Amino acid sequence: MKTLQYRFDGPEDGPVLILGPSLGTTWHMWDRQVPELSRRWRVLRYDLPGHGGSPAHPASAIGDLADRLIATLDQLGIDQFGYAGCAIGGAIGADLALRHPHRVASLALISSSPRFGTPDSWRQRGVVIRTNGLDPIARTAPERWFTTSFVTAQPAIVDWAVQMVRTTDPGCYIAACEALAAYDIRSQLGQIGAPTLVLVGADDQVTPPADARVLVAGIPDARLALVPGTSHLTPVEQPSAATDLLVRHFASSGQSSHTTGMTAITAATPKPVLTPAPTPPMAPASPIAEIAPAGQPAHVPTGQPDSRARGIKVRREVLGDAHVDAAEAAVDDFTADFQDFITRYAWGEVWTRPALDRHTRSVVTLTALTARGHLDELALHTRAALRNGLTPAEIKEVLLHTAVYCGVPAANAAFAVAQRVIQEETRPEA
């Protein structure tokens, strides 16, 4: 569980270049880059937990994934390396650059962001997967990952991409969603010291060019590369452009690695499943545009947060940003003290106690609200229960158990409320 599945390509004595995958993909997303990159670099690719042939040991924090990669590199005797990562792979690279700056010689962040979407959107995706499996996510992957013209011109590659998602372990995918929900390095960008290439597709709707510009503005030694006619999986959709930009970046940054004491390679190197297809017509990649750093981020206070800060954090994670934003917007002089009270006491004190996890606390909360007939709060906490990891089947069992000890009429009303909420929250994206 402390290491990741990996494979090597390229000369054994070459400087090490690590390629990190996107969520729902495997190391094969880099197949089109390896022939060129492995001419001068010792290319190491890895799979996320539960992806490809990697064991399904979930990791719910970007730091945990980065730690597993570091443990893998330590076993191999690799000290310093260049790193290129796509989306969540980029987040792992940024985390390495922040916590292990002496090891990251140079960095490339592809289709990446200092904060991916909103926490609510990632936790909602987890709710959908728990109920419907990964098929809805797999079916919508092409529209998130590729431009319409690429989907039309390259159906075999698009089908391959869909199959990658379908064969991912759902629990590991959900854990990765939790990791992305909690990921936010906007205040730390100025601490990244490695020479950094930020590469983004001009038509990327998942991590749009605006996110890339935030990275470039915040990282002191960063350059931007915008690839026209490309969406999210740039290395797959425009392999030649992505490869050329990576070669130029890592060659110009003088990246070198120390691999003294590197152990023999024992990882399996299966034959790539991505059959090379004719590269689609593409416009030349734009020159790397330099953007001046925006300066150091504002100071962020450190130290142990008080009960209000803890309460706001937990309340947002459990109930969602939309609900908390609406509640805070409605606060006036009459309700301010009460809102402060529940934030500090319920969310900052009780919900943060370590003896019960959030899953168990949701079970208790659903039972109590059913027993007392608080149906509006029951709807709210049914949504929260789904976000806290309960499945519809588990919620049904809670309400059945409640019917025995709290009364059938109470449970009957609760079933109606819970059924409506579950149908709304677990409906796959169209």
pLDDT single digits (tens) 14-59: 999 999 999 999 999 999 999 999 999 999 999 999 999 899 999 9
Q: Which pLDDT does position 323 carry in this prediction?
A: 86
For residues 302-314, give the mean pLDDT.
74
CATH T-level fold of 6-290: Rossmann fold (3.40.50)
Q: Which pLDDT does position 53 carry in this prediction?
A: 86
Q: Which pLDDT does position 155 carry in this prediction?
A: 94
> How confident is residue 327, by pLDDT bands cut at 50, 70 and 90?
confident
Q: Convert 225-258 to b/e letters by CB count within 10 Å (16 or more is b).
A: bbbebbbbbbbbbbbebbbbbbbebbeebebebe
> How confident is residue 208, by pLDDT bands cut at 50, 70 and 90?
very high
> How confident is residue 427, by pLDDT bands cut at 50, 70 and 90?
confident
Q: How far apart are the first and last CA of the chain?
A: 36
For residues 220-244, give the mean pLDDT.
95
Q: Where are the domains of the chain?
A: 6-290, 307-425
Question: Do the Cβ atoms of 234 and 110 come closer than 8 Å?
Answer: yes
Q: Which pLDDT does position 249 carry in this prediction?
A: 96
For residues 312-339, give the mean pLDDT.
89
Question: Do the Cβ atoms of 151 and 234 come closer than 8 Å?
Answer: no
Structural tokens at position 329: 């917007």
Residue 336 has pLDDT above 50, yes or no: yes
Q: Which pLDDT does position 255 carry in this prediction?
A: 57
Q: Which pLDDT does position 281 carry in this prediction?
A: 37
With 0-12 CB in 10 A as exposed, 13-18 as middle and 19+ as buried, what is 329?
A: exposed
Percent of the chain with pLDDT strictly greater than 70: 87
Question: Do the Cβ atoms of 84 and 39 come closer than 8 Å?
Answer: no
Q: Provide the mean pLDDT of the chain.
A: 87
Q: Has domain 307-425 been given CATH number 1.20.1290.10?
A: yes
Rounded Cα distance, 151 and 290, in Å: 31
Task: Return the closest-CA partner of residue 199 out of 143, 253, 246.
Answer: 246
Q: Which pLDDT does position 277 carry in this prediction?
A: 37
Q: Which pLDDT does position 428 carry in this prediction?
A: 81
Residue 263 has pLDDT above 90, yes or no: no
Q: Any long-range contacts for 90-94 (C-beta under 8 Å, 24+ apart)?
A: 90/20, 91/62, 91/116, 91/179, 91/180, 91/183, 91/185, 92/20, 92/62, 92/65, 92/66, 93/18, 93/20, 94/185, 94/192
Q: Which pLDDT does position 354 carry in this prediction?
A: 87
Rounded Cα distance, 209 and 224, in Å: 9
